[in-house]
Amino acid sequence: MIKKNYLENLNNSKKPFIIYRSNKGFDLYTDFSKKIILTKNNIERFINESTKLKNKKKETDLFIGFFGYEILNNLIGIKVKKQKGLKFPKGIFYKPETKKKLPNKLNYKNLKIIKSNTQFKINISRASYKIIFDKFKKKIKSGETYQIKICTKYSNKTQIDALDFFCRLVKSNMAPEAFMIKDKNYSIISCSPENLINKRNDFITTKPIAGTLKKTKKLNRIKALAFFKKNIKESKEHNMIVDMERSDLSRICKVGSVKILKKKIVEEYKDLYHYVSLIGGKLKNNISSLDIIKAMMPGGSVIGCPKISTLNLLNKQEKESRNVYTGSFGYIKYNGDMRFNIIIRSILNYKNNSEISVASGVVIDSNAKHEFNENYIKAKALMDLYK
């Protein structure tokens, strides 16, 4: 276990580091010997070569980092038009030389006064959202898509202490895929609840989340489950995403091996409940890491379905870059094992510009006011950190 002031000293040292939620606390990675900035020209080579390195059976025999939304589209042959937004890298991976275990409770707090900007600008007004919503409803009725996620972005300009934000976030809103990256001119803080890929040996799982319910004093997990089961819109949305993720897994798994391991359970978070399933399968022989990533990314539960036609609709509509949002963070080990989440519930702070992106699903039964408000609920836990 680390010394009491290790995190504080590391944070003050200006060395880059990464923290990732594990089963028994958190894993910290630092002392990076390589930093690979991804482009559409080197991404396939990076993925292929990452599992061809000599495996010394060390805990640091891996690359850890993120794929942005745009580069994952490029990887599967989907074009993303030139958009406004931060000129942020499309993906970055690091080779750590040090890995340390951190406890469940991260006791770091910045005692210096950093004046945060509590005001956020939203890139889509309620009226603009309704116009986009109605446009996509027509696309659903015409059969071009069955479900689509409208992204809204909250942004401001402020200096933050990423470690302080992350420690407060996980204290109030612990999530199984929480992570943070701190580097020289950027940080990413995330309380993502959603695992997209967990591959060990020849077995792979994915955990789609589709269904959100705001918490109230009268609700508990049992009542939330009853709500989801009775709610036609939420059930329909969940079933479509589960079917799509099963289809994605079936492309890379042996025939008949893909099974629903946990069906329609409820997970509880700070401000909301989620409707969740777990799906797994046994990989076909000779399936590569690149095959897996192309089949599974971007994660369907934050895009809509069918995936390819829905991505094309989104990319024609959206005028701002998603950057890391709905990309994936995680690691690829030298032995081919990998774990990746979906980057949601996240803050990207780049050159003191903060972005919080969120999205809600539109199906034939959706209501524009409800979906717009759902986006705000998802962003609130992150915007509260700036108070």
User: How large is the average pLDDT for residues 281-310?
Assistant: 94
| Residue type (1 letter), 49 | E
Res. 3: pLDDT tops 70: no
Residue 52 is predicted with a pLDDT of: 86
| Residue type (1 letter), 48 | N
The number of C-alpha atoms within 13 Å of 216 and in the hemisphere containing its C-beta is: 5
Residue 215 is predicted with a pLDDT of: 87
User: How large is the average pLDDT for residues 185-214?
Assistant: 93
Q: What is the pLDDT of residues 211-259, one digit of tens each?
A: 888 888 889 999 999 999 998 888 888 888 899 999 999 999 999 999 9
| Residue type (1 letter), 109 | K
213 touches 227 (CB < 8 A): yes
Res. 114: pLDDT tops 70: no
Residue 201 is predicted with a pLDDT of: 96
User: How large is the average pLDDT for residues 288-308?
Assistant: 93
The Cα 309–Cα 60 span in angstroms is 39
Residue 4 is predicted with a pLDDT of: 63
* Burial status of residue 245 (CB atoms within 10 A of its CB: 0-12, 13-18, 19 or more): buried
Q: What is the pLDDT of residues 31-87, one digit of tens each?
A: 999 999 999 999 999 999 999 888 888 999 999 999 999 999 999 999 888 888 788
User: How large is the average pLDDT for residues 5-27?
Assistant: 93
Domain spans in the chain, listed from the N-terminal domain onward: 6-386
Residue 82 is predicted with a pLDDT of: 83
Fold of 6-386: Anthranilate synthase (3.60.120)
Residue 113 is predicted with a pLDDT of: 57
- Listed in sequence order, the residues at least 6 apart from 121 whose beta carbon sits closer than 8 Å to its beta carbon are 154, 155, 156
Q: What is the pLDDT of residues 136-153, one digit of tens each?
A: 999 999 999 988 989 999
Res. 198: pLDDT tops 60: yes
User: How large is the average pLDDT for residues 294-307?
Assistant: 90
Res. 1: pLDDT tops 60: no
Residue 259 is predicted with a pLDDT of: 96
The Cα 297–Cα 284 span in angstroms is 18
**Nearest-CA neighbor of 152 among 132, 136, 134?**
132
Classify the C-alpha dihedral 237-238-244-247 as positive or negative: negative
Q: What are 347's strand-pairing partners?
A: 189, 356
- The pLDDT mean for the chain works out to 92
135 touches 117 (CB < 8 A): no
The Cα 63–Cα 66 span in angstroms is 10
User: How large is the average pLDDT for residues 262-284?
Assistant: 91
Q: What is the pLDDT of residues 322-348, one digit of tens each?
A: 999 999 999 999 999 999 999 999 999
* Token digits of residue 65: 């980092």
Res. 372: pLDDT tops 60: yes
